[in-house]
């Protein structure tokens, strides 16, 4: 079954690589329209998933990820239209240089081929993933979580219908409908047909993929994101940024999970932070120094500093210096997004240089780590590895290159 899907996707990828930009864009626009036109059917199927998930006792944060509404489908369709509006990177020759022997060597941007996608209960990812891979001339094989299988079947059905009507191969999008874990493991070893595997979900899923896949993987991000309140921080900026980063949306990887506070500003900053977070029912688990400043703060265990809560909980630590802050963050961070709140030019630059994360902010919320917010039109995930793509992944992450060389009889000496 998987092998068959692989063969179909590989064959589709050869056809997709030859499609022109106009053909791809027209199809995507029709997909966007069809998602809205078929909203009722899709929401009906999504309701089954929601019902099942609620009965299973899924958390509020995860239910929120799973839910589709008319408004959300319109948002998803709008995302597809934004992808249409982007330039197609395929075919661009990045550079073409003449070597001393007369060879002309250029690097041409080409599709990756077949992209595998393993994710959890976020049906919007199904459409985002398709739009970006299709725009870049790739075929996609999707393996969504069992929690959103009805939503995914409905979404893929709508997309396949559009492709069929447009005279484009339906095999551009492929869904593994069997949500058995063993099937997922086999999928991760389908090197013969799949060029790139992108897992998107919780830490457990990502670890499973990294440990089992033989296909090249882009590790996408669990986010244990930090905000460091430097001694020179402007607290009028700091408090709204912390509020936004922790509370605007709980179940997302770019939410702030840990505060690091310079000791020289702790007495002033912590009471304000506690006021704001307690007013929003957000628990704080801190080190001794922070607990001594506010009794609202509960003592943190060692594990707290490494935890991505995805809930109304945040950890807090007081540090003696910027160096200590950088060391603490580089130790506990998952390399996703970190921010410094500071008015110091030097500390801002040092934080940007020395924090080893995909996205490093000065005086802004970590919640901006997102393909849309970065202007990519959509996003396939946030890469927390250093290979190929790091940070929010848009179109370019889904392309490869090849060298094209024009000669006139050259041989190597």
**Of residues 157 and 237, the one with the C-beta less far from a second copy:** 237
Q: Residue 52: is it exposed, middle or buried by C-beta count within 10 angstroms (0-12/13-18/19+)?
A: middle
Query: What strands lie across the sheet with 139-143, from one edge to the other?
Result: 173-175, 139-143, 114-119, 196-200
Selected from 39, 293, 360, 395, the binder of a second copy by CB under 8 A is 360
Q: Does 363 bind a second copy (CB under 8 A)?
A: yes
Structure tokens at 257: 């999970």
Q: Does 296 bind a second copy (CB under 8 A)?
A: no
Which of these, 258, 259, 370, 247, lies nearest to 311 by C-alpha position?
Answer: 247
3-state secondary structure of 256: strand
State which of positions 8-67 bind a second copy (CB under 8 A). Answer: none
DSSP E strand boundaries for 129-204: 139-143, 173-175, 196-200
- Cβ–Cβ < 8 Å for 159, 131: no
Taking the mean position of all CA atoms in its chain, how far away is CA 317? Answer: 27
Distance CA 253, CA 262 (A): 25
Minimal distance, residue 110 CB to a second copy, in Å:
8
Stretch binding a second copy (CB under 8 A), from 22-30, 235-243, 256-264, 292-300: 235-243
Q: Does 1 bind a second copy (CB under 8 A)?
A: no
Q: Does 263 bind a second copy (CB under 8 A)?
A: no
Stretch binding a second copy (CB under 8 A), from 41-49, 129-137, 147-155, 351-359: 351-359
Selected from 1, 94, 96, 405, the binder of a second copy by CB under 8 A is 405
φ and ψ at residue 85, rounded to 5 degrees: -70, -15
Distance CA 344, CA 228 (A): 13
Stretch binding a second copy (CB under 8 A), from 19-27, 104-112, 161-169, 301-309: 104-112
**Of residues 217 and 282, the one with the C-beta less far from a second copy:** 217
Selected from 6, 79, 89, 113, the binder of a second copy by CB under 8 A is 113
Selected from 71, 181, 331, 412, the binder of a second copy by CB under 8 A is 412
Stretch binding a second copy (CB under 8 A), from 32-40, 66-74, 161-169, 242-250: 242-250
Distance CA 294, CA 208 (A): 40
Q: Does 181 bind a second copy (CB under 8 A)?
A: no
Minimal distance, residue 40 CB to a second copy, in Å:
29
**Of residues 196 and 319, the one with the C-beta less far from a second copy:** 196
Taking the mean position of all CA atoms in its chain, how far away is CA 398? Answer: 13
Listed in sequence order, the residues at least 6 apart from 147 whose beta carbon sits closer than 8 Å to its beta carbon are 49, 52, 53, 56, 58, 62, 66, 120, 121
Stretch binding a second copy (CB under 8 A), from 32-40, 96-104, 160-168, 267-275: 96-104
3-state secondary structure of 244: helix
Q: Does 237 bind a second copy (CB under 8 A)?
A: yes
Q: Which residues bind a second copy (CB under 8 A)?
A: 97, 99, 103, 105, 107-108, 112-113, 191, 195-196, 210-211, 214, 216-219, 234, 236-237, 240-241, 243-245, 248, 348, 352, 356-365, 367-369, 373-375, 385-388, 390-392, 400-412
């Amino acid at each position: 079954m998987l092998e068959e899907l692989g063969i179909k996707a590989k064959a589709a990828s050869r056809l997709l690589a030859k499609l022109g930009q106009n053909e791809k864009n027209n199809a995507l626009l029709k997909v966007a329209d069809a998602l809205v036109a078929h909203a009722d059917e899709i929401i009906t199927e999504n309701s089954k998933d929601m019902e099942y998930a609620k009965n299973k006792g899924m958390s509020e944060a995860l239910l929120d990820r799973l839910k589709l509404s008319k408004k959300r489908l319109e948002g998803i369709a709008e995302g597809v239209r934004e992808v249409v509006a982007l330039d197609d990177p395929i075919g661009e020759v990045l550079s073409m240089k003449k070597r001393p022997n007369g060879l002309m060597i250029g690097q041409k941007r080409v599709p990756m081929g077949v992209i595998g996608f393993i994710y959890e209960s976020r049906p919007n990812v199904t459409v985002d993933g398709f739009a970006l891979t299709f725009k870049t001339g790739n075929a996609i094989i999707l393996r969504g979580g069992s929690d959103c299988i009805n939503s995914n079947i409905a979404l893929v059905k709508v997309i396949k219908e559009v492709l069929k009507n447009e005279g484009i191969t339906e095999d551009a999008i492929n869904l593994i409908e069997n949500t058995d874990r063993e099937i997922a493991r086999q999928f991760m070893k389908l090197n013969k047909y799949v060029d790139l595997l992108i897992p998107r979900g919780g830490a457990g899923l990502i670890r499973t993929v990294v440990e089992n896949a033989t296909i090249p993987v882009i590790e996408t991000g669990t986010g244990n994101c930090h905000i460091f309140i430097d001694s020179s921080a402007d607290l009028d900026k700091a408090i709204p940024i912390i509020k936004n980063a922790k509370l605007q949306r709980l179940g997302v990887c770019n939410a702030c999970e840990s505060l690091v506070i310079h000791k020289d500003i702790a007495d002033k900053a912590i009471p304000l932070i506690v006021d704001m977070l307690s007013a929003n029912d957000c628990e704080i688990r801190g080190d001794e120094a922070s607990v001594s400043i506010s009794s609202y703060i509960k003592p943190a265990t060692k594990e707290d500093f490494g935890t991505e809560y995805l809930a109304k909980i945040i950890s807090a630590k007081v540090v003696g210096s910027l160096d200590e802050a950088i060391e603490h963050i580089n130790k506990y961070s998952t390399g996703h997004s970190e921010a410094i709140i500071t008015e110091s030019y030097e500390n801002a630059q040092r934080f940007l240089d020395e924090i080893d994360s995909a996205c490093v902010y000065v005086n802004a919320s970590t919640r901006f780590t997102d393909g849309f917010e970065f202007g990519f039109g959509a996003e396939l995930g946030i890469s927390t590895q250093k290979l190929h793509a790091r940070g929010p992944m848009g179109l370019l992450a889904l392309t490869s290159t090849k060298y094209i060389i024009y000669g006139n009889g050259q041989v190597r000496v």
